[in-house]
Structure formats: structure tokens, C-alpha cells
Amino acid sequence: MNDQNKRVIREAIDEAAEHLKGKLPQTKKHPSGRNPHAHIAQVLKSLLGRSYTECDDDTVSGLLRLIEQIKESPF
């Protein structure tokens, strides 16, 4: 993925993470709170089988839809 597309995806992740701040449930592994940026990146990696940065440029619109879905239903 080229740098411009990485930036677009990162901005979408930042916006979704800001929306999720304080909304993720507490866990024993994260007693001081969960990191929404890491949560979104981990969900993407789990769904895609690789980091979003390793995806092709033609997958940007699909990634943006996934990020929006994670934002609306993070669990």
C-alpha cells in the first residue's frame, strides 16, 4: 500500500478510535483501560490475516468500510 493510502486508513482508524475512547469494556489484561487504536488494528489484522499496511491499494474502500463497522460494533 502506498503512503497516501496508509495515511487515509490511519486517519480513519484515528477517528474511529476517538469515537471508541472509553467505550471498550474493561478486562483483567487491561486494568487501566483498553487502547482503541490497538483494538481496531488487531480486529483488522484478525479479519484480514495481515496488517492493513500489507494490503493492496485497491482494498482501501473495503478497509474504510471495515473500520466503520468496527467503530459501530467494536466487540
5-6-12-18 Cα dihedral, nearest 10 degrees: -160
More confident residue, 18 or 28: 18
In degrees and rounded to multiples of 5, residue 52 shows phi and psi of -60, -30
For residues 9-23, b (16+ Cβ closer than 10 Å) or e, as one string? beebbeebbeebeee
DSSP 55: S
Residue 68: band (very low, low, confident or very high) from pLDDT cuts 50, 70, 90: very high
Residue 31 reports pLDDT greater than 90: no
Q: In which band, very low, low, confident or very high, does the pLDDT at 74 lie, cut at 50, 70 and 90?
A: confident
pLDDT at position 60: 97
**Residue 22: what residue type?**
G
